[in-house]
Chains A and B, each alone.
Chain A
Amino acid sequence: MKFINIFLIVAIILNFNFLKADEIKTENKIAKNLRCLICQGQSVYDSDSEFAISLKLVIKNKIQEGLSEDQIYNFLKMKYGEWILYDPVFNRNTYFLWLLPILIFLAGGAIIIKRFYNKK
């Protein structure tokens, strides 16, 4: 009986550890995707400025409150604007940015295929 009790306690503690590890993982992931607005070329994750420290704490609290990753991004976007996200959102201003590489890729592919068939 005693053995089972100890086993259960250990299992529960280990489980908590896993949960915590997961939380830290998402916390870091989110912080890496955010631009530190008062630093130069640093993410919130990399920065040790007061702003970044507080922001990391906010992310941690929001995760504990049960907010999903997207909800946290939306929350910060509402507070600080799109600029805080490293990943530019797909909208009217960024059509060119997102589509140009694909267009270039397709044009390159077309040229290669055309050459290949011409040689044949």
Chain B
Amino acid sequence: MKSKFVPLILIFIFSITFVIFFKGLKNSNIYTPNTNLKKEVPSFELKSFENNSIIISEKIFTDNKYYLMNIWASWCVPCKEEHKFLMKLKKDERIELIGFNYKDNFTNASSFLKDLGNPYNIIVSDKDGTASIEWGAYGVPESFLVYQNKIIKRFIGPINNEDLLEIQKIIDEIY
């Protein structure tokens, strides 16, 4: 009796382990951050990019309007790539673009905007990157779509044509 029982248990344990690991192999182990957030906009108090006046978040995200908060820097190469899409988005009057100038110096950033155009309605400078951490950002470039003081969607990495269409589609749903 005992000699039959032991191999049976062993086979049972082995097959359970096999199934668990086999299923585990198929799970993606690439970490993908959640992009549909529905989180409140974190409040911040940052210096304006153009002059040193203080801008607070409550004053920016006031209207019943869409806002795209875009983190950018002149030293970031993918930011140049996404810039033309931001310029396209600027033409849409239903959305306002807020620039978060990330760990940048004023001269370089201004010549970046001079060369490629300024798509932003307001630019604030995040000199040490701590405000971006409050937003849960990973780095540059990164964008957050804000509506009614809530982050509805985030775009990690440069915005491309697909993202642009998606943003426009989201806006169309409301208007």
Interface residues of A (CB under 8 A from B): 37-38, 49-51, 53-55, 57-58, 61, 79-81, 83
Majority SS of interface residues in chain A?
helix
A-chain residues with CB within 8 Å of residue B133 when the two chains form the complex: 54-55, 58, 79
Q: How far is the CA of A49 from the CA of B139 in the complex (A)?
A: 9
Known: A38-B139, A81-B33, A81-B34. A54 touches B134 (CB 8 A): no
- Interface membership of B103, Cβ < 8 A: yes
* Closest CB in chain A relative to B122 CB, distance in Å: 21
B-chain residues with CB within 8 Å of residue A38 when the two chains form the complex: 138-139
Interface residues of B (CB under 8 A from A): 31, 33-34, 102-103, 128-130, 132-136, 138-140
Known: A79-B134, A81-B33, A81-B34. A53 touches B139 (CB 8 A): no
A-chain residues with CB within 8 Å of residue B31 when the two chains form the complex: 37, 83
Asked if B130 and A57 sit within 8 Å, CB to CB, the answer is: yes
Known: A38-B139, A51-B138, A79-B136. A57 touches B33 (CB 8 A): no
* Closest CB in chain B relative to A96 CB, distance in Å: 8
Contact of A54 among B33, B34, B128 (CB under 8 A): B128
* Closest CB in chain B relative to A63 CB, distance in Å: 13
